């Protein structure tokens, strides 16, 4: 298993995995247009892979992506008296069902945790599903209270 940053050659697989992960939790979406979704996601992924804001980590077996975690770096406003580092927002965490419960996702997360430390990012935030809380806890994450939200009407 190769843990690495995603490359342009992975885009088609990442699009399909995003589709599959959505359908897995909400079957009503399977009636949406895959072509429309693919076009939108293709643009997002091309931009993300060419930015210094998004980092998409994958686990690949040969050339097949079997797990991924997306990281968006959020820049912080500088504060006097200290060096300011960004924090990381983790999202779109997914492992193909056949590879679940075999430590693949934890290997990807472990690589990210190491990368976070090496780059002095301040912290990582993730909003896990109820089912995923133990996955994060066993990988060193602390469950905290929810942030406040505002939904414009």
What is the per-residue pLDDT for 149?
A: 80
Confidence band (pLDDT; 50, 70, 90) for 130? confident
Strand ranges of the sheet holding 87-95, from the earlier edge strand across to the other edge = 2-5, 54-61, 64-74, 87-95, 124-125
Residue 67 has pLDDT above 90, yes or no: yes
Share of the chain above pLDDT 90, in %: 88
CA 138 to chain centre: 18
Q: Cα torsion for 16, 25, 95, 147, to the nearest 10°?
A: 110
Confidence band (pLDDT; 50, 70, 90) for 153? confident
**CATH number of 2-137: 3.40.630.30, 3.40.190.10, 3.30.300.30, 3.40.50.620?**
3.40.630.30
Give the mean model confidence (pLDDT) for residues 94-115: 96
What is the per-residue pLDDT for 33?
A: 95
Give the mean model confidence (pLDDT) for residues 144-149: 78
Confidence band (pLDDT; 50, 70, 90) for 129? confident
Residue 44 has pLDDT above 80, yes or no: yes
**Average confidence score pLDDT of the chain:** 94
Q: Which two tokens stand for residue 115?
A: 């990368």
Cβ-proximal residues to 88 (8 Å cutoff; 6+ apart), any chain = 71, 72, 73, 74, 116, 121, 123, 124, 125
Give the mean model confidence (pLDDT) for residues 115-143: 92
Q: What is the pTM of this model?
A: 0.92
Residue 145 has pLDDT above 80, yes or no: no
The residues spanned by each domain of the chain are 2-137
């Amino acid at each position: 298993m190769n843990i690495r940053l995603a490359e342009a050659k992975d885009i088609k697989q990442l699009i399909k995995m995003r589709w599959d992960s959505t359908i897995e939790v909400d079957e009503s979406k399977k009636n949406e247009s895959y072509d429309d979704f693919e076009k939108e996601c293709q643009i997002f992924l091309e931009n993300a892979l060419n930015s210094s804001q998004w980092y998409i980590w994958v686990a690949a077996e040969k050339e097949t992506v079997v797990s991924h975690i997306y990281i968006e770096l959020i820049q912080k406003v500088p504060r006097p008296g200290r060096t300011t580092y960004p924090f990381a927002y983790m999202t779109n965490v997914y492992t193909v069902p056949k590879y679940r419960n075999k430590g693949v996702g934890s290997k990807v997360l472990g690589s990210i945790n190491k990368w976070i430390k090496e780059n002095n990012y301040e912290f990582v935030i993730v909003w896990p599903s109820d089912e995923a809380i133990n996955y994060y806890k066993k990988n060193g994450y602390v469950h905290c209270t929810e942030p406040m939200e505002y939904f414009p009407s």
